[in-house]
Amino acid sequence: MEPLPREIVRVLRVFEDAFSERVWEQARVLVVGAILAPGQRTVASALRVTGLGDDRQYQNYHRVLNRARWSGRELSRRLLGRLVATFVLADAPVVIGLDDTIERRRGAKIAAKGLYRDPVRSSRRQVVKVLGLRWLSVQVLAEVPWAGRVWGLPFLTILTPSERSVAARGRRYKTVTAWGWQAVCQVRRWLPGRRLVVVADGAFCTYELLGGAARLDPPVTVITRPRLDAALYDPAPPRTPSAPGRPRVKGARQPSLAARILDPGTAWQSLTVAWYGAATADIEVATGTALWYREGITPIPIRWVLLRDPAQRFAPQALVCTDPDLPVPHLITWFVARWQVEVTFHELRDHLGVETQRQWSDLAIARTTPALFGLFSLVALLAHARLQGRPLPLRQAAWYAKTAPTFSDTLAFVRRLLWPITFSPHSTDDPETVEIPRVLFDRLTDSLAFAA
């Protein structure tokens, strides 16, 4: 390959010394190949698209994933630092999205696979099961300046083996929420001086995660969706000097959130907030504070928020936050941004070939999918470094007036930067060189840049 553009070299230099010199050269080829390759993201496709299809030592590139010594966790730490420095203001909280996804994979040698509910194909009436790997994705939710909206930028992806595969190896099974708690602790250690806000769906609304995050130093704010019948209590009343027994840890039980929704006496307030689809919505909210308590644990101070739509376009729902002093508009805005995690999952499958890789060794599996997730964020960083404040070019058509860039535009922009380095320059008198009109050349490169 020809030398990389300077902007791309500056971004990749952050990760260079995490590899040996020889492995880094091979890893860099795989990164460029994974960005350029359409269709399947295999080592073979990466070598073909970078012009190395005739390299007899192709096994060395496979060894980057299944044998070479390097730390995926260290790469995640460096990627997080670069994302925060690039897209998050120094005095702003770092908002983290937490969610799991299923990678559909089959094969007798894929040890960690399990049978899971497919969240995309399932509905309330029908549950669809799928065989594959479950991954926990941790993403920075930050506004990308040239995109004009919040993106979910993955930096840490964790394989959560199925219960059956863990039992077959004689190990202790950990639930996805236990893995989520470990991920929160890891991010807290990586960003010790920053305010952290974690947003997750109702599957992560557990005492262990919320209570543990609130007791970290400094604490991590968690926003999630609770059960409507969760047991909420008033604070413990003041203890009198002569009262016998242990001090009380909670007061009287409050009405459930479901009861508050139906109660005509609940005080609702009109509010205009940022909503899904980069729009705003006029909703009604009711809020209050409480202690979330279960026998045998320390009570968790929370703020609960009820949301309902005067036009009844969605059913009433509830949110909880471990910071009782957090303003309600911030709470709702940050939780709505969590949907970008799902958007990123969709983009990864459509444009970066997740579920098309074919490794079967345990180490290669544990590295390949997190690498593709991190590649999403790396593409955003490469585009940002090249643009330097300029707008990203949009692909337009007479029948589609696009107003804001998407990930496909970003990937095409980066591909146009990388394609020239895969070809050596030819002299004009080379008999193998064919001159073609510039219009046709631009049309070919545009079509190739936007290939799936």
pLDDT digits (tens, 9 = 90+) for 254-301: 999 999 999 999 999 999 988 887 678 899 999 999 999 887 788 899
Query: 215: pLDDT confidence band, cut at 50, 70 and 90?
Result: very high
Query: 426: pLDDT confidence band, cut at 50, 70 and 90?
Result: low
Which one, of 234, 236, 285, lies nearest residue 255 by Cα?
Answer: 234
User: Residues 164-174: what's their mean pLDDT?
Assistant: 91
Query: 117: pLDDT confidence band, cut at 50, 70 and 90?
Result: confident
What residues does each domain of the chain span? 225-236+249-325
pLDDT digits (tens, 9 = 90+) for 194-204: 999 999 999 99
pLDDT at 249 over 90: no
Q: What is the mean pLDDT of the chain?
A: 91
Query: 334: pLDDT confidence band, cut at 50, 70 and 90?
Result: very high
pLDDT digits (tens, 9 = 90+) for 19-37: 999 999 999 999 999 999 9
pLDDT of residue 278: 66
Comparing 429 with 173, the larger pLDDT belongs to: 173
User: Residues 347-363: what's their mean pLDDT?
Assistant: 92
In the block, residue with structure tokens 């070019």:
393
Per-residue three-class SS string for 329-382: HHHHHHHHCCHHHHHHHHHHHHHCCCCCCCCCCHHHHHHHHHHHHHHHHHHHHH
Give the list of residues 6+ apart from residue 154 with CB closer than 8 angstroms, or none: 137, 138, 139, 344, 373, 374, 376, 377
Structure-block tokens of residue 331: 């709470």
Comparing 75 with 110, the larger pLDDT belongs to: 75
pLDDT at 219 over 60: yes
Number of other residues whose CB lies within 10 A of the CB of residue 159: 17
| Backbone torsions φ then ψ of 317, nearest 5 degrees | -140, 170
Q: How far from chain centre, in Å, is Cα 276?
A: 17
Give the list of residues 6+ apart from residue 174 with CB closer than 8 angstroms, or none: 160, 166
Burial of 424 (0-12, 13-18, 19+ CB in 10 A): exposed
Q: Name the percent of the chain lying above pLDDT 90.
A: 70
What is the rounded CA–CA span in Å between residue 329 and residue 190?
28
Query: 428: pLDDT confidence band, cut at 50, 70 and 90?
Result: low
pLDDT of residue 298: 85
Per-residue three-class SS string for the chain: CCCCCHHHHHHHHHHHCCCCHHHHHHHHHHHHHHHHCCCCCCHHHHHHHCCCCCCCCCHHHHHHHHCCCCCHHHHHHHHHHHHHHHHCCCCCCEEEEEEEEEEECCCCCCCCCEEEECCCCCCCCCCCEEEEEEEEEEEEEEEECCCCEEEEEEEEEEECCCHHHHHHCCCCCCCHHHHHHHHHHHHHHHCCCCCEEEEECHHHCCHHHHHHHHHCCCCCEEEECCCCCCCEECCCCCCCCCCCCCCCCCCCECCCHHHHHHCCCCCCEEEEEEECCCEEEEEEEEEEEEEECCCCCCCEEEEEEEEECCCCCCCCEEEEECCCCCCHHHHHHHHHCCHHHHHHHHHHHHHCCCCCCCCCCHHHHHHHHHHHHHHHHHHHHHHHHHHCCCCCCCCCECCECCCCCCHHHHHHHHHHHHHHHHCCCCCCCCCCCCCCCHHHHHHHHHHHHCCC
* Among 194-208, 307-321, 348-362, 410-424, the least confident range: 410-424
User: Residues 388-417: what's their mean pLDDT?
Assistant: 90
* Among 68-77, 152-161, 424-433, the least confident range: 424-433
Query: 174: pLDDT confidence band, cut at 50, 70 and 90?
Result: very high
Is residue 231 within 8 A of residue 259, CB to CB? The reply is no
List beta partners, residue 163: none
User: Residues 294-322: what's their mean pLDDT?
Assistant: 91
pLDDT of residue 427: 54
Single-letter amino acid, residue 359: Q
Query: 443: pLDDT confidence band, cut at 50, 70 and 90?
Result: confident
The string over 389-403, giving b where at least 16 C-beta atoms fall within 10 Å of a residue's C-beta and e elsewhere, is eeebeeeeeeeeeee
Q: Name the percent of the chain lying above pLDDT 70.
A: 97
Burial of 152 (0-12, 13-18, 19+ CB in 10 A): buried
What is the rounded CA–CA span in Å between residue 73 and residue 43?
22
Is residue 142 within 8 A of residue 89, CB to CB? The reply is no
Overall residue count recorded for the chain in this entry: 452
Number of other residues whose CB lies within 10 A of the CB of residue 352: 22
User: Residues 146-163: what's their mean pLDDT?
Assistant: 95
Q: Cis omega before residue 145 (within 30°)? A: no
pLDDT of residue 225: 95
